[in-house]
Amino acid sequence: MKKILLFFIAVFLSIAIVSLLIQRKLISPITSLPSVIKEVDNPEISTLPAASGEPSPTPVATPAIPLFELHFNTSNYSLGEPSGDVPGVKVRLYDSQNRLLGEQVVPPIVMKGNGGSGGNVLFQVPLGTYRADAETTQLVGTKTVTLTSYKDQQFYTIPMYAQPIKISGKYYFDANKSGTYNEGETTFANKKINAFVRTGAAYKNLYEAGSTTTDSQGNFLLTVKYIGSYTFGAEQVLGYQELSQRWVDLTAGQSATYDIYLWSL
């Protein structure tokens, strides 16, 4: 009985001492446990998947693909050799799938001091294969470029030639020497035809502009790309007299007829 009494006295004194310490703020009551449990049971919202109807977290931006600066200028080759830039030309850029990526007009070169600016267009593209087409009423040109490294060449020239000039004719024996083909006159099949052109100042430059072969009826068709004065040579046929050359002036986009005939010896 005495031991029981001492036990209750000890418990009472312990409770009294703890109460006194709490009142004097020497210890804190155990009130933080529910908070700790709450944090464990309810993690931050940002760590949970978004509920239906709630906005999703902002996706991380994909790094931009670096672009290559691709420059084109134009040069007039329609007289057989480069003869300067061609300002005002519209340049269209296509990808390897023949999709139009953009178009720009070549500005004129503006001289300033010892240098100049302009004269080219700029397209910014990823690495790949591209085709640049340039065209005016008189000239046309194209350039294909494949870029495999950002250290590749940046500046390219589009050579521009005359809009196609089409020349058709017949190679035949002019039996009555009229200078024109008459039904029934002999024609020469499978014979090579060469086109020559003189261009430049006073037509000083002579170039071979193209060649073809006559069909079974002696007809031929040539498409050439130079502006100038043309003459034609034909594969010789034994037993006939070769005539002196004739010249005809042709310009861009023109269609012309030029017959080649031989006389008897």
Instruction: Tell me which H or E stretch contains 122.
Output: strand 121-125
Predicted confidence (pLDDT) at residue 25 exceeds the cutoff of 60? no
Domain map of the chain by residue range? 68-162, 165-264
56-65, 95-104, 197-206, range with the lowest pLDDT: 56-65
Least confident of 35-39, 180-184, 186-190, 230-234: 35-39
Model pLDDT, residue 41: 47
Q: With the CA atoms of 95, 97, 100 and 104 taken in that order, what torsion angle do they form, in degrees rounded to the nearest 10?
A: 20
Fold exhibited by the domain 165-264: Immunoglobulin-like (2.60.40)
Terminal Cα distance for the chain, rounded: 161
Q: Say what the pLDDT of residue 42 is.
A: 47
Q: How confident is the model over 107-128, as a mean pLDDT?
A: 80
Look at residue 199 in the predicted model and tell me its pLDDT.
Answer: 84
pLDDT score recorded for residue 85: 83
pLDDT of residue 38: 44
Per-residue pLDDT, averaged over 259-263, amounts to 94
Residue 224 token pair: 């050439």
Which class is domain 68-162?
A: mainly beta
Looking at the DSSP bridge assignments, the partners of residue 110 are 117
Band (pLDDT 50/70/90 cuts) for residue 210 is very high
Check residue 190 and give its pLDDT.
98
**Per-residue pLDDT tens digits for 120-150:** 999 999 999 999 999 999 999 999 999 999 9
